[in-house]
Amino acid sequence: MFLKEFFRAIKSYATAGKLIREYNLYSFFYIPAIISLLIGIFIIFIAYYYSTPISEFIISLWTFDFGQDAVRQVGKWGSAILILGVGIVIYKHLVLALSSPFMGALSERIEEITTGKLPHPKPFLQVLIRGLRINLRNLVYELMYTLPLLLLSLIPVLNIATTILLFYIQSYYAGFGNMDYTMERYLDYKESIQFAQKHKGIAVGNGLLFTALLFIPILGMLITLPLSTSASTLDVLNTINKNHNKDDLGVPITA
């Protein structure tokens, strides 16, 4: 089921792009684009400001006279990798959380277009708090897995495996965040976590393209989130409709 959902999630990007063009949904891009740019500039500034102190700290751990040049090079590269990895993780979850009310509205519009039914919107503050809660939880878990892998990536033989694992983790939590813009209308906090875990293929497939598109300079910050949100909405709704009702979604129902 993982591979089936994975490839379906990737294909959904083409459908999402078609819907955005056909129904002229570009107005949903503006505020998330501004949020993305502001947070991106902030993360770049922090990374630039702290890169030298972190590098010097790593170098200071080596107290021996021999190997200073090698340690200095490792310190520079290690600090760069650490800052880049952590910066991307923090950037991603901040954008996902703060954009939740706006991407929730886009998800509702996609649902209205594809099902003919108008979802009942939730209050702005409630959606924002939900987004902050989900993405803070995902940020903690992702950093917990990412930091050790970033350190292991400095080892030449292991860096291939760690790179694959890092991309998988990045993709899963990015896709999870995108899925929640739709899940929040149907599932509570715990149910959404279990739903994402059950349907990892959707999360990883959606998050894979999300992460890849972010590396496109400037343009990635502007288009990635609305496009990924639209694609994930199609996948989550498709899964829900296939199961017909909440009791069959594969998650325990709370009172």
Mean pLDDT across the stretch 47-63? 70
In a domain, 235, yes or no: yes
Q: If we measure between CA atoms, which residue out of 166, 186, 97 comes closest to residue 134?
A: 97
User: Would residue 244 count as lying in a domain?
Assistant: yes
- pLDDT reported for residue 255: 25
pLDDT band at residue 247 under the 50/70/90 scheme = very low
Confidence at residue 252, expressed as pLDDT on a 0 to 100 scale: 35
The answer to the question of residue 234 being in a domain is yes
Give yes or no for residue 173 having a pLDDT over 90.
Answer: yes
Note the pLDDT of residue 20: 96
d(CA 192, CA 211): 21
* pTM for the structure as a whole: 0.84
Kindly give, in sequence order, each residue whose CB lies less than 8 Å from that of residue 63, ignoring residues fewer than 6 positions away.
Answer: none
The percentage of the chain sitting over the pLDDT mark of 70, rounded to a whole number, equals: 85
Q: Residues 228, 206, 238, CA angle at the centre, nearest 5°? A: 90
Split into its structural domains, the chain has a count of 1
| pLDDT tens readout for residues 108-151 | 999 999 988 888 778 889 999 999 999 999 999 999 998 888 77
What is the total residue count of the chain? 255
User: Residue 75 domain-assigned?
Assistant: yes
pLDDT of residue 71 exceeding 70, the answer is no
Binned at pLDDT 50, 70 and 90, residue 45 comes out as confident
Query: Is 210 part of a structural domain of the chain?
Result: yes
Q: Residue 59 has what pLDDT?
A: 67
Q: Could you tell me which of 239, 143, 253 has the C-alpha nearest to residue 198?
A: 239
Asked, for residue 161, whether it belongs to a domain, the answer is yes
Segment 202-245, tens digit of pLDDT: 999 999 999 999 888 888 888 999 999 999 999 999 998 876 55
Residue 153 lies in a domain: yes
Across the chain, mean pLDDT equals: 86
Q: Which domain holds residue 241?
A: 2-248
What DSSP line would sit under 94-142, residue for residue? HHHHHTHHHHHHHHHHHHHHHHS----PPPHHHHHHHHHHHHHHHHHHH
> What distance lies between CA 143 and its chain's CA centroid?
13
Report whether pLDDT(35) > 70. Answer: yes
- Per DSSP, helices labelled H in the chain are 2-22, 30-60, 68-98, 100-115, 124-152, 159-183, 189-198, 200-214, 219-243
253 is a domain residue: no
